Structure 1
Amino acid sequence: MNTNQYPGLIPSYEHERLAALQPYQVLGTPGQEVFNDFVSIVAKLFDMPIALVSLVRADDVVFIGNEGLPEALVVDRQDSMCSVAILSDELTEFRDVVVQPCDLVNPYVAQEMNLGFYAGQALRSPEGLSLGSLCIMDHRPRQLTPLEGHLLKDLARVAQELLRLQAAQANGFTVPEGLRSRVDATVQQSLTRLSTLAALRRLDPAPESEDTRRYHESRLDEARYLAQVMHRELLAVLDK
């Protein structure tokens, strides 16, 4: 990475951050099934074509789970907005990438991908150091509502625990029987309810109607419930 051209991407705590990232380097090979499943759900929840879980390493960004992009994708750190998302505790959102591009990274990559929207939430180690991000992207400009912003933060908490779980498994941790089946059952029930709500919303031709608003809010509430259940299940296993 050209640190002279993009100095703003390197936080003052970079040495500590890279040390905190070490236990997760076992996840440096893309295509991890659990993360691909997770980001597929995230993309559906937000109705976005692209969702990613990334790790931001010293010189590059590796996507260990992705929906809507080529498999095994690794890009230079200066080419990814995930490098910007890790710099903040708050949601990083670029509502119109074409009109207001991110000036901390190479703008040409976003143009080549035909991106119009990006939102990312930093993923942190138990010590609070940024490791990567959970992000969603679209090819058109968009804007997250406050409820959607809270949902992305909730889902990022789930992604953080998935990172911990996968790293622990790589070091010999045995996942208790029943965890995957419990999580899968909750996911399937929630996705069924979400699909029903989405179908009901499509029956109303008026996008700004009160019924459409209620359907949308109910869908987000269900999605947040799903995130909270998954987070609780993972914590129960990891913090024993």
Structure 2
Amino acid sequence: MLNTFGVPIIPDNETERLARLHELQILDTPTEKSFANVAAMAAHMFNVPIALVSFVDSDRVWFKANVGMEDTLEVNRGVSLCSLVVLNEDITVFKNATTEPCLLANPLVVGEFGLRFYAGAPIKTADGYTVGSICVVDKEPRDFSEADQRVLQHLAAIIEDEIQNR
């Protein structure tokens, strides 16, 4: 698998994590209003051009909801910064992607897309497996306070509840 990050992107619990993700039967399904509303809310609340609800599959990151990149349904896992979110328990924040050593070979950062800011909160199953993220993206560096991080985590909790209620 392509990996532009220079660090391992497969968590230790990958087999179980993928099993939980596939049990959700959420991949390659139509956009649902509740997910789209959360992504739109995130874009508006944080005043960013891009907000995504993504699920990290074995070799791709698939977008269940997408504001700002509507023509893109998925991205290679080794390129998408959402792949890094499944490695952490907490939120992942890159205030200025051009200063992050693990992102210096990433085509979304160094290429024409011009990603500069990324914040992603993990989306977890009821039994604790991180299967995706809700993220906000900008083409300008920016700060992201602890209060902002808590808000993004609350949006992830809404998505988690929605997944449980499907």
Structure 2, unaligned runs of 5 or more: none
Q: Give, in angstroms, the shift of residue 84 of structure 1.
A: 0.1
Give RMSD over aligned pairs.
Answer: 2.1
Report 1 or 2 for greater relative contact order, CA contacts < 8 Å, sequence distance ≥ 6.
2
Cα distance in structure 2, aligned partners of 1:76 and 1:159: 23
Cα distance in structure 1, aligned partners of 2:17 and 2:71: 26
1:51 matched to 2:45: no
1:34 matched to 2:7: no
Structure 1, unaligned runs of 5 or more: 169-240
Q: Which residue number corresponds to residue 132 of structure 1?
A: 132
Point out the more displaced range, 73-82 or 30-39: 30-39
Q: Which residue number corresponds to residue 69 of structure 2?
A: 69
| SS of aligned partner of 1:41 | helix
Total equivalences in the alignment: 165
Kindly provide the CA deviation profile for residues 6-39 of structure 1, in whole angstroms up to 9, marking residues without a partner as x. Answer: 6610111101101111122334235333222220
CA contact (8 A) 1:120 1:136 kept: yes
CA contact (8 A) 1:53 1:133 kept: yes
Cα distance in structure 1, aligned partners of 2:70 and 2:79: 16
Q: Which residue number corresponds to residue 112 of structure 1?
A: 112
User: Which structure carries more strand by proportion?
Assistant: 2
> CA 1:131–1:142 in 2, change beyond 3 Å: closer, same or farther?
same
Q: Which residue number corresponds to residue 97 of structure 2?
A: 97
Cα distance in structure 2, aligned partners of 1:147 and 1:26: 30
CA contact (8 A) 2:27 2:62 kept: no
Q: Give, in angstroms, the shift of residue 73 of structure 1.
A: 1.6
Which one has a bigger Cα radius of gyration?
1
CA contact (8 A) 1:31 1:71 kept: no
Q: Which residue number corresponds to residue 147 of structure 2?
A: 147
Matching residue's letter, 2:93:
E
User: Which structure carries more helix by proportion?
Assistant: 1
Q: Percent identity?
A: 34
Q: Which stretches of structure 1, 4 residues or longer, exceed 6 Å deviation after superposition?
A: none
CA contact (8 A) 1:94 1:100 kept: yes
Q: Which residue number corresponds to residue 19 of structure 1?
A: 19
